[in-house]
Amino acid sequence: MSETKSMNQQGFLNLFLTAGCDSFPHALRKSFLVAVWFAFLTFPIMVIKVNTIENTVVWHWHKIGYLAVAVFFGSFIWRWLLARKELKKDENREETRIESLLTRVQSHPVLKYLALGVLAAAAAVFPQVFNLYQTNIMISCLLYIVLGLGLNIVVGLAGLLDLGFVAFYAVGAYAYALCNMHWGLNFWFMLPVGAVLGALLGILLGFPVLRLRGDYLAIVTLGFGEIIRLVLENWGEVTMGPSGISSIDRPALFGVKLGVIGSTHYMYYIMIGLVILTIFSVNRLQNSRIGRAWLALREDEIACQAMGIDKMKTKLMAFSLGATWAGMAGVVFAAKTTFINPASFTFWESAIILSIVVIGGMGSIRGVIAGAVILILVPEYLRDFAQFRMLLFGAIMVLVMVFRPQGLISAKRKVYEYKVNTAGAANE
């Protein structure tokens, strides 16, 4: 037993040190060259900072030293991961420990309800235990879970890359802010209105664009997101321009206006409700006739059409359903912050939501939730690291695509139950 273990370790070390190379010295040489190449590559931008007004230069030579060392070791890991991916290509993908743990809990009735109970209790007491600041962070995390699950319908299930998701979010937020400002319409009335507006806009944009190849969709939605933002910024008479709209009403509890603490707690519970509704709906959708059609469409459009699936209609459903959730989340966002301006709806917002879906696991509800929790909460608590947030998101997106396209936690397949006919089975 211990012998095989040490042999495995040796095999691992061997693979790690020489992956993709003939021998260890060859690997060393390769890593050295890569380090030199990256030092050269990053030299002007990392090392030299010029000030063309005062004509001064600052050199940061140490940076390139760190970088070269990091790249040297990193290239071993890179080659090892590539080699491992190649080795495992033909094997059935195994579940990771976390995935199999989750699956086991989910399929065991007692454990499942126990885990759900613990989760529900923790969610219920959270605002009582933690302070207002932390409750607020939790609310935005929950908001991103909803946004992530909404985008997951579009990107994860239907395989449509939507880079302008934030546009629908903005429409929901501005719809509530404007209707509230002009006519005093309340939150509960506007929540479904925001959802419907999102859906309608989704259909309106999706209709011409979804006929196109997938990569065009990405760029058109990207452009559309920018158009919405530019209109919000420049159409001052209606949207109040870059200065935005302030003192938006928070939701009232049975007509009673709450104080800051009370309304934050209320908002928190509303978000919990919305998250539950979202998980419930998305879960049922993905295991339905329509959900299967989305998956099939993602895999092979031609075969899908040949099996009688209306490509346009199915895509449009996914696109506008995603937009529905973004619209709802927008209304909640406006009510939560009580102030909105176009700066909240830049491409970065779409990028963050996309990272949540991609890094968490496309098509996987539990993955998207994990993605939102990690990507939103970790930077909040590690303030020093906050400025590197987008840098890391970008890098991780590339790494996930290269080494683990299914994301952090992959989707779970539903197991169907059927009746075996022994008569037909005699065939084989």
Partner 1 sequence: MNNPVLNVNAMSKDFGGIRALDEVDLKVADREIVALIGPNGAGKTTFFNCITGIYTPTSGDVLIDPSAEGRTVRINGRKPNHVTELGMARTFQNIRLFPSMTALENVMIGTHCRTKASIWGAISRNPATRREEQAVIQRSYDLLELVGLENYVNELASNIPYGKQRRLEIARALATDPFLLLLDEPAAGMNPHETKELERLILKIREKFNISIMLIEHDMKMVMSMSDRIYVLDYGRMIADGTPEEIAANPDVIKAYLGEDHDD
Partner 2 sequence: MDYFLELFLGGLTRGSIYALIALGYTMVYGIIELINFAHGEIYMIGAFTGLIVAGLLTMYGFPGVSILAIAVVCAVIWAAAYGYTIEKVAYKPLRGAQRLSPLISAIGMSIFLQNYVMLAQTSDFLPFPELIPHFGFMESMGSIMSSSELVIVLATISVCVALTLFIKFTKLGKAMRATAQNRKMAMLVGINVDMVISATFVIGSSLAAVGGVLIASHIGQINYYIGFIAGIKAFTAAVLGGIGSIPGAMLGALVLGLTEAFATGYVSSDYEDVFAFMLLVLILIFRPSGIMGKEKAQKV
User: Minimum distance from CB of 121 to partner 1 (Å)?
Assistant: 27
Q: How many Å apart are CA 142 and CA 278, to the nearest integer?
A: 11
Side chain identity at 87, as an amino acid letter? Answer: L
Nearer to partner 2, 230 or 276 (CB): 230
Nearer to partner 1, 6 or 92 (CB): 92
289 binds, among partner 2, partner 1, none (CB under 5 to 8 A by kind): partner 1
Nearer to partner 1, 97 or 413 (CB): 413
CB atoms within 10 A of CB 30: 16
Nearer to partner 2, 220 or 332 (CB): 220
396 binds, among partner 2, partner 1, none (CB under 5 to 8 A by kind): partner 2
Check if the beta carbon of residue 244 is closer than 8 Å to that of residue 339. Answer: yes
Q: How big is the site for partner 1, counted in residues (CB under 8 A)?
A: 39
Q: How many Å apart are CA 29 and CA 166, to the nearest integer?
A: 46
Q: Which of 175, 368, 145, 364 is nearest to 271 (CA)?
A: 145
Q: Which of 371, 350, 352, 349 is nearest to 362 (CA)?
A: 371
Check if the beta carbon of residue 326 is closer than 8 Å to that of residue 163. Answer: no
Q: Which residues bind partner 2 (CB under 8 A)?
A: 37-38, 40-42, 44-46, 48-53, 55-57, 63, 82, 155, 159, 161, 163, 208-209, 211-216, 218-220, 222-224, 226-227, 230-231, 234, 298, 302, 347, 351, 354-355, 358, 362, 387-388, 390-391, 393-398, 401-402, 405
* Alpha-carbon distances of 26 from 19, 22, 23, 95, 395, rounded to whole Å: 10, 6, 5, 34, 27
285 binds, among partner 2, partner 1, none (CB under 5 to 8 A by kind): partner 1
404 binds partner 1 (CB under 8 A): no
User: In the range 246-275, which residues lie near partner 1 by CB under 8 A?
Assistant: none
User: Minimum distance from CB of 271 to partner 2 (Å)?
Assistant: 27
Angle 138-221-139 (CA atoms, 0-180°, nearest 5)?
Answer: 5
User: Minimum distance from CB of 289 to partner 1 (Å)?
Assistant: 4
290 binds partner 1 (CB under 8 A): yes
62 binds, among partner 2, partner 1, none (CB under 5 to 8 A by kind): none
**289: part of which helix (H) or strand (E)?**
helix 289-299
316 binds partner 1 (CB under 8 A): no
E strands in 22-158: 48-51, 56-59
Q: Which of 229, 206, 220, 98 is nearest to 153 (CA)?
A: 206
Q: Which of 302, 334, 135, 292 is nearest to 213 (CA)?
A: 302
140 binds partner 1 (CB under 8 A): no
284 binds, among partner 2, partner 1, none (CB under 5 to 8 A by kind): partner 1
Task: Classify residue 370 by burial, with Cβ atoms within 10 Å: 0-12, 13-18, 19+.
Answer: buried
428 binds partner 1 (CB under 8 A): yes
86 binds partner 1 (CB under 8 A): no
Nearer to partner 1, 44 or 424 (CB): 424
* Candidate residues 1, 45, 53, 420; the one interacting with partner 1 per rule CB under 8 A: 420
Stretch that binds partner 1, among 2-10, 25-33, 66-74, 294-302 (CB under 8 A): 294-302
Q: How many Å apart are CA 127 and CA 130, to the nearest integer?
A: 5
Sign (positive or negative) of CA dihedral 295, 299, 301, 304:
negative
276 binds, among partner 1, partner 2, none (CB under 5 to 8 A by kind): none
User: Minimum distance from CB of 192 to partner 1 (Å)?
Assistant: 14
* Candidate residues 101, 310, 339, 343; the one interacting with partner 1 per rule CB under 8 A: 310
Nearer to partner 1, 27 or 293 (CB): 293
| Residues counted in the chain | 428
Radius of gyration of the chain (CA): 25
39 binds partner 1 (CB under 8 A): no
Q: How many Å apart are CA 117 and CA 103, to the nearest integer?
A: 17
Residues near partner 1 (CB under 8 A) are: 92, 280-281, 284-285, 288-293, 295-296, 299-300, 302-311, 317, 321, 413, 415-421, 424-425, 427-428
